[in-house]
Amino acid sequence: MVLKSTSANNVSVYQVSGSNVSRSLPDWIAKKRKRSLKNDIEYQNRIELIQDFEFSEASNKIKITSDGQFAMVTGTYKPQIHVYDFQNLSLKFERHTDCENINFILLSNDWTKSVHLQNDRSIQFHNKGGIHYTTRIPKFGRDLCYNEINCDLYLAASGNELYRLNLDQGRFLQPFQLETDKGANCIDRNELHGLISVGLENNSVEFWDPRSRKKASTLYLPEENIEVTALKFRNDGFNFSVGTSSGISYLYDLRSAIPYNTKDHGYGFAIKKFIWLNKTKNNEDNENNIVVTDKRIAKIWNKDSGKLIASMEPSTDINDIEYVKDSGMFFMANEGIAMHTYYIPNLGPAPKWCSFLDNVTEELEEKPTDTVYSNYKFITRKEVKDLNLTHLIGSKVLRSYMHGFFINSELFDKVNLISQNSRQSIQDVKRKEVDKRIDKERESRIKSSLSNDINSRHKNIKVNKELVSKLNDKKHGKRVIEDIVADNRFKDMFEDPEYQIDEESFEYKQLNPTKSTKDRSEVQDRPRGLTAAEESDEERMNSRYDGESSDEEEKEDEKEELEELRAKEEVKFRKQMDKLRRKKEAQEKSERFIKSLTSSASTNKTLSSFITEESEPVSLGEKLRNHERMEQDKRSANNNIKYHRLAKGEVEMTFIPQRSKKGNGRIKKAVDEKAGGRSKQRYEGRRSAGRNQFRGM
């Protein structure tokens, strides 16, 4: 079993469920496609943590009950409510509503009592049986919270009023007047001292005391022309987080109006939700971590240092996120069909109802597999420009991520190698090419002095100097010969006299039967000067090296054109020679045929009259017909065989049995008797006992 995972800062994040992770198929489809699904890796490695953990289109909000046994989720389409039972890991029931849900809260420890704020200004109260009561507010609601002390339900709406609905009395109370006409976006309550915070659209936060029903204070954010989109108190009563529409998070201590930490989420989207984590068995410092979510990604970072710990990025936009207390598991409601589930072992253990996840992740840690980004390399926009890959931006080859892109590691290595080769200066390439051509044209002169150069460099060569010269004669590279001489494996071969090659031995003569008798020292000692052509070539190459690049390129082009013309002339000459050779072979073949006809005609008067010089000219076809008649006359001389020509050049032969002559019988009899037996009856006219009448003929 393999879980899709990402790893950063030595923290593994496992995606248990969600899009592109698992597929849940009906039983009848699985049975029907059982054979084809055997090779489907995605289906074989699937994990269904909770069955039917999805909506037909999208999910809006998700919350877990206080007892930790159930999860209530709202989604669409059609607008509906799902309740999941963790003990059975399945859907408990689903309930449809008339309008789409904006937000809801749970009034009881389980799922039996809940309040739902709908997008048609209505408020629905649900119990076990369904909708218990429905009421409306004057303006469209945006958020709600509940005060357990006085049973007040606070509703933030688009106007300048904070509505209060008392559930004990069953009536609306006088609303709180806000210092804005645009409305409030979010609301939250501190569970310790009961202070209520309201986030407004005019970059400010108002704090209200429900006991005095008066505004306690107003907090103005450092930014201007922004909206407050998320609020959350920590359970210690002092720490307080504010999120804005520009994607910036502020952390405050209620005793100070200056934030002690400011964090930019990085994407520029509005902050949707904050979650203050609690202490767990695996991580005692987990209570200093906070989860910040926008529609793109959820990040976990330390509240004091701002250091990023982990992140969760689904393939669809995030609508809501919920944390399972005392564990490392998160649920996400998003714009996709399947809801996402993430598990981070570093933050806490798996919940009791899915403790098997700990065993799975431990096995994966012992035998790590490829993670999502293990085969990818992160590059910035500047590196993309340097590698000339700007035309691939927006395609699947470059996956955009934060301020850069992910690219396949193998592709990056190839592109980087090509770009490094192209960065070499053109002048260096030209110099190398010129040096290469000079060495090629001076090969004979360098060849004669190469062995002396090697001997001067390697003074340890005491024996088998002729072998070095022989290797040089075979046109081995200079470096190859130097490597052979300097190799420790062949060291004794050039230093120890016992390894001296005896050229007078029988074995050496057997291996080298065609050794030249000339003295190599005479050839080597005799200096060889350059010819006029070589000197002119040397001057031309030197002038080309020192001259301008344009003259060099023109001469190279002229040389290439001459080589092409020479190649074309060689091909043309070979074709003409082949044509002449075929013509000559055909002429010789006809002469041989005529010669054979003349030789056979010497024994035939009829045919000789056609071939003699005094006769009239005869066509070749007539000569062939006469030749065939002559051959047929020869074959007809033997009366035992008759020939009859058929169509398509076929010949039919008929055998006529005849008795042998008397003289031949006597000779054969003597031969048979000498061989030790008779092959036929002694007296003629004696009746044969066999049925074969052709016997003895």
d(CA 313, CA 266): 13
d(CA 342, CA 348): 12
CA angle 171, 228, 119 (to 5 degrees): 45
Most confident of 18-22, 190-194, 401-405, 640-644: 190-194
What are the strands of the beta sheet with 329-334, ordered from one edge?
A: 4-8, 11-17, 340-343, 329-334, 318-323
Distances (CA, A) of 340 to 14, 161, 314: 11, 36, 7
Query: Look-up: residue for tokens 């990023």?
Result: 308
pLDDT band at 355, cuts 50/70/90? confident
Secondary structure (3-state) at 114: strand
pLDDT beyond 90 at 281 = no
What domains sit in the chain, N to C, each tagged with a CATH number? 4-366 (2.130.10.10), 376-425 (no CATH)
Tens of pLDDT, residue by residue over 132-144, are 999 999 999 999 9
Residue 669: what pLDDT?
A: 46
pLDDT: which is higher, 205 or 516: 205
d(CA 562, CA 556): 10
Average pLDDT value for residue range 187-209: 93
Residue 647: what pLDDT?
A: 62
Most confident of 50-64, 537-551, 560-574: 50-64
pLDDT beyond 80 at 451 = no
pLDDT beyond 50 at 603 = no
Residue 667: what pLDDT?
A: 42
Average pLDDT value for residue range 278-305: 89
pLDDT beyond 70 at 476 = no
Residue 672: what pLDDT?
A: 47
Residue 67: what pLDDT?
A: 92
| Residue 695 contacts residue 688 (beta carbons within 8 Å) | yes
Tens of pLDDT, residue by residue over 111-137, are 999 999 999 999 999 999 999 999 999
Tens of pLDDT, residue by residue over 8-66, are 778 888 888 887 654 445 555 555 555 666 666 656 666 778 988 999 999 999 999 99
Range from 153-162, 207-216, 357-366, 374-383 carrying the lowest mean pLDDT:
357-366
What are the strands of the beta sheet with 70-76, ordered from one edge?
A: 58-64, 70-76, 80-85, 90-96
Residue 502: what pLDDT?
A: 82
Q: If you ran DSSP here, which 8-state letter would residue 548 be given?
A: -
Closest CA to 15 of 232, 346, 312: 312
Residue 369: what pLDDT?
A: 47
Query: Look-up: residue for tokens 């955009």?
Result: 400
Tens of pLDDT, residue by residue over 642-669, are 666 666 667 777 766 666 555 444 444 4
Distances (CA, A) of 243 to 200, 311, 326: 11, 18, 25
d(CA 210, CA 146): 12
pLDDT beyond 50 at 86 = yes
d(CA 193, CA 254): 12
Distances (CA, A) of 63 to 59, 107, 331, 333: 12, 12, 9, 10
User: Rounded to 10 degrees, what is the CA torsion of 472, 473, 475, 481?
Assistant: -20
d(CA 361, CA 367): 10
Residue 462: what pLDDT?
A: 74
Average pLDDT value for residue range 327-352: 92
Secondary structure (3-state) at 361: helix
d(CA 393, CA 380): 12
d(CA 144, CA 122): 12
Helix H, strand E, coil C: the string for 165-197 is EECCCCEEEEEEECCCCCCEEEEEECCCCCCEE
Residue 605: what pLDDT?
A: 46
pLDDT: which is higher, 520 or 2: 2
Phi, psi of 562 (to 5 degrees): -60, -40
Average pLDDT value for residue range 372-380: 72
Residue 279: what pLDDT?
A: 86
- What is the secondary structure of 218-254 as a DSSP string? EEE-SSSS--EEEEEE-TTSSEEEEEETTSEEEEEET
pLDDT band at 678, cuts 50/70/90? low
| pTM confidence score | 0.54
| Residue 252 contacts residue 240 (beta carbons within 8 Å) | yes
pLDDT beyond 70 at 446 = no
Distant-in-sequence, close-in-space partners of 460: CB < 8 Å, separation ≥ 6: 491, 494, 495
Secondary structure (3-state) at 507: helix
R_g over Cα of the chain: 52
Residue 285: what pLDDT?
A: 82
Secondary structure (3-state) at 448: helix
- Mean pLDDT over the full length of the chain: 78
Q: Which residues pair with 417 in a beta bridge?
A: none
pLDDT band at 264, cuts 50/70/90? very high
pLDDT beyond 70 at 639 = no
Closest CA to 665 of 683, 639, 692: 683
| Angle of helix 443-457 versus helix 465-473 axis, rounded to 10 | 150
pLDDT band at 597, cuts 50/70/90? low
Instruction: Give the whole-number percent of the chain exceeding pLDDT 90.
Output: 36
pLDDT beyond 80 at 316 = yes
pLDDT beyond 60 at 523 = no
Q: Which residues pair with 321 in a beta bridge?
A: 332
d(CA 151, CA 167): 6
pLDDT: which is higher, 473 or 690: 473
Distances (CA, A) of 472 to 448, 453, 484, 497: 9, 11, 12, 22
| Residue 14 contacts residue 343 (beta carbons within 8 Å) | yes
d(CA 36, CA 30): 9
Average pLDDT value for residue range 503-516: 75
Tens of pLDDT, residue by residue over 612-630, are 444 455 677 777 777 777 7
